[in-house]
């Protein structure tokens, strides 16, 4: 979507994008823009041969995968209805003879099953998914946000009436005002320009070009012509700023400065930048007081997620050394839409020494029955049990130390825990915590490894598998252009079903920090810090009493032994 396209859209189309924008306070030219709900994904290991596009064979391939593998079609009546409706629907038409019509027909069949997370991924969408997983792209290295938006959103959130239900008239009045503010700060205007929200990192094109926090990006040159950003969405501008690595992008900026006598001056200039290879970071780390650390995860998609979390946990452990290793961790999974199941499993093993990681229930291919896979952890072993009696595919493996490479053995995948058992953990969730983030939060909660604080999670307890389609064509490298992503399994974190999402141990509404405070410290973060301090103090008191009891026991034993030795 280009800038001209956006300006030509109706208010209705823009309103749909605005509705998504409400949940996203900032947009990142480095990170790729809006967060989105990501279906939990497992991949198919076997590589099927890829052929040139054939609409009829492609439709049949997709039909058979849905019929035989879809979790919901284990029900014989639903499966029969699906077959009756879709198997021969297009046999007598020419709708499968060209790519556009065939893609429409397959999309209709996929969505006809009625599961929102199923998807037929066309070439552009498949490329976008791969880019998110690779987490490498061409950009200039700036975080951008509409000027004044963060402050306006925080202020309207502070004014939200507390302790009232969504049906309360006062809440409805507030929601109307909140919607007005969100709408006002959803489009870039001359009065509310797009600005650089933080100083660019060292080594990025933006830093090398002298761009700084607060600089306004007014125009971007598109196809040799300057295009004003006024009337566009921030996401739109981000897409334009990104592009092929080593390609050029030219922007027009306004810079504000202060003279020695305090006078405000501004200047404008064009800046030409060469897009560099950038990595989308998904882990945020911050040291807090009292040996407590905060680790936030954006999603579970990036191929670098595992190594980023490992680095953050190492920092948290080092930060706790002054407390004899007994630190506290806040794991932020708010607004985390999920991602790759493999990353979720790896994260759980980093945080858990023992317990039930999960139960995965999947449909037996082509049948009406289901099979369960249970993953168990002990400090030194990981055990996978298929079925009630440990059927085919069950295994056990020694948990290995962390290694940094793409292909892992089972023991390296379910590695030794990185976080010491004495660490206290609190997980933050909200209504946008979904999929893999629910799997991690639920496993830690069910096994008593962590308390969950915040709001109930989204409640997505089904996962999808992506199937590359053999007859959907291929790119120059031979990779398939089209994929089918369908619901194939149910996941139960810690072995516990969660049809209504993860319910927090400590319910706590989220309100912004006060205007004179660091914005990081919202009400939920403050509550988590207070709870961790309480837990750590209790643990410290317990350890002191335990040490005193051990000393008393040793003293008594020595006294008794001395008495025995003194007896004739």
Whether 131 shows a pLDDT value over 50: the answer reads yes
- Token duo for residue 78: 């639903």
What is the distance between the terminal CA atoms of the chain, rounded to a whole angstrom? Answer: 98
Segment among 13-22, 327-336, 479-488 with least mean pLDDT: 13-22
More confident residue, 293 or 340: 293
Q: Confidence band (pLDDT; 50, 70, 90) for 546? A: low
- For residues 58, 63, 64, 65, the Cα torsion angle rounded to the nearest 10 degrees is 90
How much of the chain, in percent, has pLDDT values that exceed 70? 86
- Is 60 exceeded by the pLDDT of residue 16? no
Q: What is the pLDDT of residue 549?
A: 75
CA separation for the pair 342, 339 (Å, rounded): 9
Residue that wins the pLDDT comparison between 311 and 553: 311
CA-to-CA distance for 107 and 498, rounded, in angstroms? 29
Q: CA-to-CA distance for 425 and 485, rounded, in angstroms?
A: 34
How confident is the model over 296-316, as a mean pLDDT? 91
Q: How far is CA 33 from the centre of its chain?
A: 13
| Beta strands at 506-507 and 451-454: parallel, antiparallel or unpaired | parallel
Q: Which residues contact 5 (CB under 8 A, 6 or more apart)?
A: none
Is the Cβ–Cβ distance between 103 and 122 less than 8 Å? Answer: yes
In the DSSP assignment, the letter for residue 402 is P
Tokens of 316: 């948290």
User: Closest Cα partner for 239 from 330, 138, 153, 150?
Assistant: 138
* Residue range 168-183, pLDDT digits in tens: 898 889 888 888 888 8
Which pLDDT value is given to residue 291? 93
pLDDT (mean) for 430-445: 93
| pTM reported for the whole predicted model | 0.77
Report whether 446 contacts 359 (CB < 8 A).
no
3-class SS letters over 159-195: CCCCCCCCCCHHHHHHHHHHHHHHHHCCECCCCCCEE
> By C-alpha distance, which of 182, 185, 201 is closest to 193?
185
pLDDT at residue 388 greater than cutoff 70: no
Question: Long-range contact list for 507-516, CB < 8 A, 24+ apart?
Answer: 507/454, 507/455, 508/453, 508/454, 508/455, 509/162, 509/455, 510/334, 510/430, 510/454, 510/455, 511/157, 511/158, 511/160, 511/162, 512/154, 512/155, 512/157, 512/158, 513/154, 514/158, 515/154, 515/155
The confidence score (pLDDT) of residue 29 equals 34
Return d(Cα 255, Cα 230) in angstroms, integer: 17
Confidence at residue 5, expressed as pLDDT on a 0 to 100 scale: 36
What average pLDDT score do residues 323-343 get? 88
Q: Which of 71-80, 247-256, 437-446, 476-485 has the lowest mean pLDDT?
A: 476-485
Model confidence pLDDT, tens digit, residues 340-357: 888 898 899 999 999 999
Q: What phi and psi values does residue 41 have, to the nearest 5 degrees? A: -125, 130
Of all residues in the chain, the percent with pLDDT exceeding 90 is 45
Q: How do residues 135-160 score in pLDDT, each as one tens digit?
A: 677 889 888 889 988 888 888 888 88
What's the rounded mean pLDDT across residues 199-214?
90
- pLDDT score recorded for residue 20: 27
Question: In the predicted model, is pLDDT for residue 18 greater than 60?
Answer: no
- What pLDDT, on a 0 to 100 scale, did the predictor assign at position 361? 92
User: How far, in Å, CA of 241 to CA of 139, rounded?
Assistant: 6
Indicate the average pLDDT of the chain: 83
Tokens encoding 359: 């139960």
67 pLDDT band, cuts 50/70/90, is very high
- Mean pLDDT, residues 194-215 taken together: 90
| Tokens 């999947």, residue located | 362
- Once rounded to an integer, what is the mean pLDDT over residues 128-137? 64
Cβ neighbors of 127 (< 8 A, separation 6 or more) are none
Calpha distance 110→67 (Å, rounded): 11
- If pLDDT is split at 50, 70 and 90, which confidence band does 50 have? confident
Instruction: Check pLDDT > 90 for residue 116.
Output: no
3-class secondary structure for 269-330?
Answer: EEEEEECEEEECCCEEEEECCCCEEEEEECCECCCCHHHHHHHHHHHHHHHCHHHCCCCEEE
Residue 128: pLDDT above 90? no
Q: What one-character DSSP code corresponds to residue 513?
A: P
Instruction: Among 32-41, 336-345, 513-522, name the one with the lowest average pLDDT.
Output: 32-41
Tell me which residue has tokens 């009400």.
523
pLDDT band at 34; cut points 50, 70, 90: very low
How confident is the model over 41-66, as a mean pLDDT?
80
Of the candidates 344, 387, 385, which has an alpha carbon nearest to the alpha carbon of residue 364?
387
Handedness of CA 351, 354, 356, 362 (dihedral sign): positive
């Amino acid at each position: 979507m280009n800038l001209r396209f956006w300006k030509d859209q109706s208010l209705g189309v823009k309103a749909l994008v605005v509705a998504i924008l409400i949940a996203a306070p900032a947009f990142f030219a480095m990170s790729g823009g809006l967060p989105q709900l990501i279906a939990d994904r497992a991949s198919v290991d076997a590589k099927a041969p890829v052929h040139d596009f054939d609409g009829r064979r492609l439709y049949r391939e997709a039909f058979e995968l849905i019929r035989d593998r879809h979790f919901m079609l284990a029900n014989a009546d639903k499966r029969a209805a699906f077959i009756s409706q879709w198997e021969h629907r297009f046999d007598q038409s020419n709708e499968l003879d060209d790519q556009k019509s065939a893609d429409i027909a397959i999309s209709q069949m996929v969505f006809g099953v009625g599961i929102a997370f199923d998807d037929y991924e066309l070439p552009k969408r498949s490329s976008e998914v791969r880019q998110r997983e690779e987490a490498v792209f061409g950009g200039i290295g700036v975080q951008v946000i509409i000027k004044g938006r963060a402050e306006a959103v925080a202020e309207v959130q502070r004014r939200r009436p507390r302790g009232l239900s969504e049906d309360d008239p006062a809440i409805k009045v507030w929601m109307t005002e909140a919607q007005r503010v969100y709408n006002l700060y959803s489009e870039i205007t001359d009065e509310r320009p797009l600005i650089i929200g933080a100083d660019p990192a060292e080594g990025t094109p933006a830093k090398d070009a002298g761009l700084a926090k607060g600089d306004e990006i007014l125009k971007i040159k598109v196809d040799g012509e300057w295009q004003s950003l006024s009337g566009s969405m921030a996401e739109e501008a981000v897409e334009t700023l990104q592009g092929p690595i080593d390609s050029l992008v030219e922007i027009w900026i306004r810079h504000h400065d202060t003279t020695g006598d305090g006078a405000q001056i501004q200047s404008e200039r064009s800046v030409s930048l060469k897009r560099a290879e950038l990595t989308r970071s998904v882990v945020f780390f911050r040291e807090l007081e009292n040996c407590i650390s905060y680790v936030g995860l954006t999603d579970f998609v990036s191929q670098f997620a595992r190594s980023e979390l490992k680095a953050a946990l190492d920092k948290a452990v080092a930060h706790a050394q002054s407390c004899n290793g007994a630190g506290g961790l806040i794991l932020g999974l708010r607004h985390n839409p999920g991602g790759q199941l493999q990353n979720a499993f790896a994260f759980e093993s980093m945080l858990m020494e023992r317990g039930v990681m999960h139960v995965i229930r999947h449909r037996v291919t082509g049948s009406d029955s289901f099979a369960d896979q249970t993953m168990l952890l002990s400090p030194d072993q990981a055990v996978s049990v298929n079925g009630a009696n440990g059927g085919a595919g069950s295994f056990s493996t020694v948990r290995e130390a962390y290694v940094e490479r793409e292909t892992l053995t089972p023991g390296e995948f379910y590695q030794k825990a990185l976080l010491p058992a004495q660490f206290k953990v609190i997980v933050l969730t909200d209504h946008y915590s979904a999929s893999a983030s629910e799997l991690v939060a639920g496993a830690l909660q069910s096994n008593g490894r962590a308390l969950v604080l915040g709001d109930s999670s989204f409640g997505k307890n089904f996962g999808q598998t992506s199937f590359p389609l053999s007859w959907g064509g291929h790119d120059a490298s031979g990779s398939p252009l089209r994929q089918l992503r369908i619901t194939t399994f149910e996941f139960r974190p810690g072995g516990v079903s969660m049809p209504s999402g993860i319910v927090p141990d400590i319910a706590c509404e989220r309100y912004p920090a006060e205007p004179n405070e660091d914005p990081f410290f919202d009400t939920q973060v403050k509550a988590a810090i207070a709870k961790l301090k309480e837990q750590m103090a209790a643990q410290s008191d317990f350890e002191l009493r335990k040490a005193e009891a051990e000393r008393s026991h040793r003293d008594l034993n020595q006294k008794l032994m001395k008495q025995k030795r003194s007896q004739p």
